[in-house]
Amino acid sequence: MGAFLVRRLLSLVVLLVGMSFVMFLLTSVLPGDPARVAAGPDASPEVVERFRQRLGLDRPLPEQYVRFLANLARGDLGASIRSKQPVLDELRAAAPATIELTIAATIVFVAVSIPLGVVTASRKHGWVDTTSRILAIGGTAIAPFWLAFLLQLIFFRFLGWLPAGARIAMSFSPPPRFSGLYLVDAAIAGDLALLLNAMRHLVLPVAALALGRIAITTRLTRAQMLMELGSDYVRTARGKGVNERKVLYHHALRNGLNPVITNIGIQVGYLLSGAVLVEAIFQWPGLGSYSLDAILNFDYPAVLGVALLISIFFALVNLLVDVSYAFLDPRVKVS
């Protein structure tokens, strides 16, 4: 296991260096002039040129990339062109909101989709199976940002059941910062009212992000379960009189879970990418809103910092997926 983790970590480092080069190159060729943005729209050409020199944009691109890697190795992502604040500090402030939203959406779609996939496979062609497949097609067809608008229209505008956005109501103050996750911090502070309010504000953005992921994971779980339920070991277990629930969950699901876990890791990455517009719609102060503001304002250091952070998070999730194989399936050996 130790050698496996070392190899995976080394491969992740190589991958991240390669991804950093691609992202650096893409941000360098995007339209717009960061020096002009930093100097202001009314700045003279001389002032713009001074800002270009200060930002190091007058140097050759390979030299800029080497400096970027050197700064990155020290944990320095540069300063935001808009706010003049360190990008790393701004990412620390914005990341907890996105992490909380992503974790909540992941818990919801995993908790719903896997049992639903098992049920639909065990009751093939029943009304539950047919209904879930219809909903799965609809769930994958609706874009998260469009679903976000629809949910706001129904549950906020028409019914008035849930808030339209933000992490908590304006009448509440944020909890004392411990993790940056409002649910965790409110629970630690023992503030039940704030905890419930934060949960209400999570419902709509989580639903907007999780519905499509539920559809995809349910269909995959169903397909894996149907394949496993047709196996000889399942027929043997049933012939021996093993409880049907044990056959479904202990035997069939456990043996067919690896592709589902792989899919979950991929879907978590999609949650992060889908959060950009969803966070903007729900006024959620996370990485999505931060990156959208950075893109609109040509704040290249901030855009690069967000892209790099999401890449690191996505790579770590896939590392956890690889490690989980050995614990979920005894047939898998890592060395």
What is d(CA 182, CA 168) in angstroms, rounded to the nearest whole number? 9
Residue 198: band (very low, low, confident or very high) from pLDDT cuts 50, 70, 90 = very high
Return the half-sphere exposure (C-beta side, CA atoms, 13 A cut-off) of residue 68: 24
Determine contact, residues 314/269, Cβ cutoff 8 Å. yes
C-alpha 214/C-alpha 27 separation (Å) is 33
Distance CA 320, CA 178 (A): 25
Residue 242 has φ and ψ, to the nearest 5°, of: -65, 140
**Separation CA 196–CA 295 (nearest Å):** 34
In 123-191, which residue ranges form alpha helices assigned H by DSSP? 127-141, 144-151, 182-189
Q: State the pLDDT at residue 204.
A: 92
Cβ count near 93 (within 10 Å): 15
The CATH number fitting domain 95-292, selected from 3.90.226.10, 3.40.50.10800, 1.10.3720.10, 1.10.10.10: 1.10.3720.10
Has residue 157 got a pLDDT over 80?
yes
Question: 334: pLDDT confidence band, cut at 50, 70 and 90?
Answer: low
* pLDDT at residue 200, as a whole number: 93
**pLDDT 10s digits, 61-76:** 777 777 777 877 787 7
Q: HSE-up of 87 (CA within 13 Å, CB side)?
A: 25
**C-alpha to C-alpha distances, 15 to 264, 301, 317, nearest whole angstrom:** 21, 20, 14
Across 154-172, average pLDDT: 89
* Mean predicted lDDT score pLDDT of the chain: 80
Return the minimum-mean-pLDDT range out of 47-56, 246-255, 312-321. 47-56
Q: Which residue would you say has higher pLDDT here, 233 or 285?
A: 285
Number of CB atoms found within 10 A of residue 110's CB? 19
pLDDT at 271: 80
Q: What is the pLDDT of residues 78-115, one digit of tens each?
A: 788 778 888 888 998 888 998 899 899 999 988 988 88
pLDDT tens across 211-247, in order?
888 888 888 888 888 888 878 787 887 787 777 788 7
82 phi and psi, to 5 degrees?
-75, -55
Q: What percent of the chain clears pLDDT 90, i.e. is strictly above it?
A: 9
H-helix segments, 282-329: 287-296, 300-328
pLDDT-derived band of residue 266, with 50, 70 and 90 as boundaries?
confident
pLDDT band at 27 (very low <50, low <70, confident <90, very high): low
Q: What is the pLDDT of residues 171-189, one digit of tens each?
A: 888 899 888 899 999 999 9
**Token match 């067809």: residue?**
141
Indicate whether 55 pLDDT > 60.
yes
Distance of CA 263 to the CA centre of its chain: 13
Phi-psi region of 209 (alpha: psi -120 to 50; beta: other; left: phi over 0): alpha
Three-state DSSP at 86 gives strand
